[in-house]
Amino acid sequence: MLRTSLFVLAVFAAIPAESLADERGTVSTLSDDEIRQAFAELKAGSRAFAPAREAREDWAGARRLIASDPRWKSWSKKRIQEVETWMASPRDNAAWVAGWVHDYVDGKTGRMLEWSPKDPEPAADDRSKRFHAAWIAYTRLYNIDRLLEAARLFRLTESDRYRDWAASQLDFYADAYAGFPLQTWNGRSRLMTQSLDEAKCGLILLEAARLLRGSVSDERLARWRDRLFLPMAGNLRQSSSGDHNIALWHAVAITLIGQEFGSTELANFGKLDDMGISKLLSRVVSSDYFWHEMSLSYQDYVVEALSRFFTGLSLRGKLGEFKRELWIAQNLMLSPVSIRFPNGDAPTLNDSPPGRKTPNRERWQASRRVFPTVIGLIEARGKLDWDNLLDPPEPVRERPDLPPVISRRVPGLYGVLMRKADWQAFLRYGQGARYHAQQESLTYELQYKNEWVLRDPGTVGYGSPLHREYFRRAVAHNVPLVDGDGQMPWPSVGRVDLFDPDGVGVSVTHEEYRRKVTVSRKLAVDRDEFVDEIRIAHKNRSPSALGFVLNTRCAVSTPGATVAPDLHLPDTQPFRHWKNWVAYRMPERWTTTLDCEGQRFALSVQGEREQRVFVGRVPDSMAPYTRQGIYVETTGTAAVFRIGFKPLDAGSTH
């Protein structure tokens, strides 16, 4: 097992296949010192918890700052106005049953809609039932956020008006909790539709209760404890199973509820239970600091939960019990910078939303109270928010250089990063968990200089049929296909055969890509051409349709090709989302042109004697919500395709 800082990366020479067994170990193999030293140049922690930090809270200092600084005074007035407006009317209803926020989507494109507190209550008819329930969920979430805001304003202004309203809302949720219907489709929950949302809301309510402690009666606190928080913790404990982000949110909420209300059993959950924070991180964070669901958006989501956890522990004086976990979580936040593309884009893995950047500066800033980095502290400068008011950021040196991105294996993501000349590709050979996996083994993303050639779309809102029918499926990715479909079953994992990015390239194989089908893919750079070689071997005697699909935002030009109206796309659900497609019969070797925002490429394919090529408009997850799909197939029991991308100078032809 390699035990090296991700910040100091070595370029591996060619390695024989027999030594390239799956290397995805976990942080359980690493020492505390190794964990602390990883990404050391980026970190900015000091004192007892360095290179991380213990969060602090200074209300007296906050009041002095508002009194002396006009910017902060204006900020606080705006907070007061927003809360006063919200407090003026009843906002939640014990009869409302919360739905899933992912159902608040545009029916045509599947994109998530932006909810606003000004959005009127939609119709609740059968056609809009799920949309209405999603509106309820957003409204309840916002009301709970305002509840916390009021509790903070009480501590800041010492005005009983805000305490009384916040306490009345906690009374409402405590009294209503048992009456909300128990929803069990994704864990056990009452306040929200699923246990994940229940845990997140519970943490907000718990922070409000902490801030009000000492200003309300012990009887009232006991009422909140017995009618709201302990029943909620009970539901979360019964929901807690599986190694995934939801289980981590459960563990955070359960443990902090125990800490707040003096329940030893619940307080020990995070440290001692198999589903607690300590054991979850030990099991599922790889030795190169990637979360095993292999989605960078969910990795950030886990970091958010852990940031709340360690902040809550800090403010209760309990952080020392979780030092190792604190350092692991800090590295979990930082690791994606090691696989960023030249323009700062992150790979889009599994069902992440598209268009993510790394470093995630917003997350680094939001987590800087416990996971301080130089970049996060610089991002926090001048920001007017509660974190900066209560726990001002320390001054830091100038922004550091990010770690260099070099060709390397990324076992924590079952991936290989290849960077050579002006090309960078990230190749996947499997998935680690079923929860957010897409049918995308052997896909890759490709960038030339700062220009995307092939980019994974991630997905749209989960409530959209496009998520299930298209974006999760192989056809939405850049993968080999057999009879019009990709790997099966999935998730599943292949292997790395060769890693020699500066020489002959990198090669991965999936022995059981489908039943009795072995597929391998080799990527290399030959002078200025990026080369992709696919080999498909079917052990059945009956011929199959063997081929591959590429999806690109680049314009595809096929001058001179003869249309073949008798050809048809595979009759599968994902291919039914192709529009305005045209089919061609192509010879053994053929070339087309891609125009990627002015950077043109010759796309060449060398394959079997007769190839059927389809080009059409396909769904995309970002505006304008369409892109170009290219599907190539032949018939046989084995096939080899050599795909080349060669940049063209302005005005050149091929």
181-230 pLDDT, tens digit per residue, is 999 999 999 999 999 999 999 999 999 999 999 999 999 999 999 999 99
- Is the pLDDT reported for residue 548 higher than 60? yes
* pLDDT of 346 strictly over 80: yes
Model pLDDT, residue 106 = 86
Task: Give pLDDT tens digits for 615-632.
Answer: 999 999 999 999 999 999
Is the model's pLDDT at 20 over the cut of 70? no
Q: What's the rounded Cα separation, in Å, for the pair 342 and 354?
A: 17
The tokens describing 149, both together, are: 């805001």
Kindly state the average pLDDT of the residues 487-506: 95
Q: 412 and 479 in contact (C-beta within 8 Å)?
A: no
pLDDT-derived band at 24, boundaries 50, 70, 90: confident
pLDDT of residue 10: 28
Sign of the alpha-carbon dihedral angle for 462, 466, 468, 470: negative
Whether the CA torsion 559, 562, 565, 571 is positive or negative: it is negative
pLDDT of residue 653: 53
Contacts of 332 (CB under 8 A, 6+ apart): 285, 289, 290, 291, 299, 302, 303, 306
Q: Is the pLDDT assigned to residue 290 strictly greater than 60?
A: yes
CA distance 550 to 470: 14
Pick from 495, 519, 491: which is nearest to 506 by CA?
Answer: 495
| Domain range list for the chain | 90-239, 408-648
* pLDDT of 62 above 90: yes
Please tell me the predicted confidence (pLDDT) of residue 4: 28
At a CB cut-off of 8 Å and minimum separation 6, what does 76 contact?
A: 66, 156
In the predicted model, what is the mean pLDDT of residues 523-537?
97
In this predicted structure, the answer to whether residue 609 has a pLDDT above a threshold of 90 is no
pTM: 0.92
Report the pLDDT value the prediction gives residue 650, as an integer from 0 to 100. 59
Q: Which residues of 259-272 are buried (b: 16+ CB within 10 A; e: fewer)?
A: bbbebeebbbbbee
Q: pLDDT for 571-581, tens place per residue? A: 999 999 999 99
Give residue 397's pLDDT. 78
Alpha-carbon distance of 518 to 509, in angstroms, equals 7
Q: Are 117 and 87 in contact (CB under 8 A)?
A: no
Neighbours of 579 (CB within 10 A): 11
DSSP 382-431: T--SHHHHHSPPPP--SPPPPPPP-SEEEGGGTEEEEEETTEEEEEE-B-
Distance CA 229, CA 204 (A): 11
In this structure, whether the domain defined by 408-648 belongs to CATH 3.90.230.10 is answered with: no
Confidence label for 18 from pLDDT (cuts 50, 70 and 90): very low
**Joined tokens for residue 523:** 């990527």
Beta strands at 517-526 and 505-514: parallel, antiparallel or unpaired: antiparallel
The confidence band for 127, taking pLDDT boundaries of 50, 70 and 90, is confident
Average pLDDT over residues 126-151: 94
User: Of all residues in the chain, what percent carry a pLDDT higher than 90?
Assistant: 88
Starting at the earlier edge strand, list the strands of the sheet with 579-586. 480-482, 544-552, 626-636, 611-619, 579-586
| SS3 assignment, position 126 | helix
d(CA 136, CA 311): 29
- Give the DSSP letter string of 269-316: HHHHSTTSHHHHHHHHBBTTS-BTT--HHHHHHHHHHHHHHHHHHHHT
Q: How confident is the model at residue 6 (pLDDT cuts 50, 70, 90)?
A: very low
Confidence of residue 12 (pLDDT cuts 50, 70, 90): very low
pLDDT of residue 51: 98
Q: What is the DSSP letter of 50?
A: T
Average pLDDT, the chain: 93
CATH superfamily of 90-239: Chondroitin AC/alginate lyase (1.50.10.100)
pLDDT at 559 over 80: no
Q: Assign 252 a pLDDT band (cuts: 50, 70, 90).
A: very high
Single out the residue of 542, 351, 606 nearest to residue 456, CA to CA: 351
pLDDT at position 125 is: 81
11 CB-near residues (< 8 Å, 6+ apart)? 406, 407, 408, 501, 502
Tokens (6 digits) for 110: 């599947």
Rounded CA gap, 204 and 152, in Å?
Answer: 12
Least confident of 46-55, 82-91, 99-108, 370-379: 99-108
- Residue 195 contacts residue 235 (beta carbons within 8 Å): yes
Note the pLDDT of residue 15. Answer: 36
pLDDT at 639: 96
What is the per-residue pLDDT for 13? 32
